[in-house]
């Protein structure tokens, strides 16, 4: 028991370069990524790309109907420049209009071929009834899919998923936060596509602690969750 506890602590506080030792059970291969926002301040993505095994990065773009992350544009351009697969996420506010929140995201994020599908970060009900939250989230998801012709990725933590989202959005790719050495297991049996397993990663080029993520698959599998223009195909969710 003590050894298991110490192993978990080492994982939570180890440098990013150490995540290659942390394998998802039964996965033949895995890709590693980070997600950031203005909380990480100014990031040296050149150093990140050179010094760390980073296969992808998600960056916060928008929140609610009018908020824009102050570091989004810089992060978005730098990721493109240094060749790190990038994705943008919207922090959803349950009390807000889903249509307006989608418009906020679409007006800011300039998608390029090969970018990861847009992400809806939904992890609080903001004092509204769960049914309202779900309906507005559905509006956001539908608007993004109708505009870009790709299914967005849904991000949440395991507790919020099990309590509010289980059985609601089963045809969308899932990104689940669970800070543990044990992989997420969802109450409805759905398979996750990304696992955010730590919020205390240390990465060269990023001055603050950062979220660490695993995609349990190959680069070709990750490609199926990426956006390309002039397509109307349904998004194929990568299932390792």
CB-count burial class (<10 Å; 0-12, 13-18, 19+) for 189: exposed
d(CA 201, CA 14): 7
Nearest to 177 by CA among 165, 162, 194: 194
Nearest to 196 by CA among 39, 69, 12: 12
User: Could you tell me if 58 and 153 are in contact, meaning their C-beta atoms sit under 8 angstroms apart?
Assistant: no
Q: DSSP 3-state assignment of 209?
A: coil
Which residues carry out catalysis? Answer: 123
User: Could you tell me if 128 and 95 are in contact, meaning their C-beta atoms sit under 8 angstroms apart?
Assistant: yes
Q: What is the Cα 149 distance to its own chain's centre?
A: 19
Strand-pairing partners, residue 36, are 59
Residue 223: partners with Cβ closer than 8 Å, 6 or more residues away: 114
User: Could you tell me if 153 and 117 are in contact, meaning their C-beta atoms sit under 8 angstroms apart?
Assistant: yes
């Amino acid at each position: 028991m003590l050894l298991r506890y110490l192993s978990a602590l080492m994982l939570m506080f180890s440098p990013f370069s150490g995540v290659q030792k942390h394998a998802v059970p039964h996965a033949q291969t895995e890709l590693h990524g980070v997600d950031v926002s203005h909380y990480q301040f100014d990031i040296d993505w050149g150093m990140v790309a050179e010094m760390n095994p980073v296969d992808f990065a998600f960056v916060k773009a928008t929140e609610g109907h009018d908020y824009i992350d102050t570091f989004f544009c810089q992060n978005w351009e730098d990721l493109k420049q240094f060749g790190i697969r990038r994705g943008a996420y919207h922090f959803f506010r349950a009390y807000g209009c889903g249509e307006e929140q989608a418009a906020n995201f679409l007006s800011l994020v300039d998608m390029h071929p090969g970018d990861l599908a847009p992400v809806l970060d939904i992890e609080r009900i903001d004092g509204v009834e769960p049914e309202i939250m779900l309906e507005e989230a559905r509006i956001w998801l539908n608007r993004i899919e109708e505009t870009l012709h790709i299914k967005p990725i849904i991000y949440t933590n395991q507790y919020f998923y099990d309590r509010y989202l289980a059985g609601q959005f089963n045809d969308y790719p899932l990104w689940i936060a669970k800070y543990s050495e044990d992989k997420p297991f969802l109450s409805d049996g759905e398979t996750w596509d990304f696992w955010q397993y730590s919020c205390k990663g240390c990465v060269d080029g990023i001055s603050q602690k950062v979220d660490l993520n695993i995609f349990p698959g190959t680069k070709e599998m990750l490609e199926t969750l990426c956006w390309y223009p002039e397509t109307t195909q349904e998004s194929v969710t990568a299932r390792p």
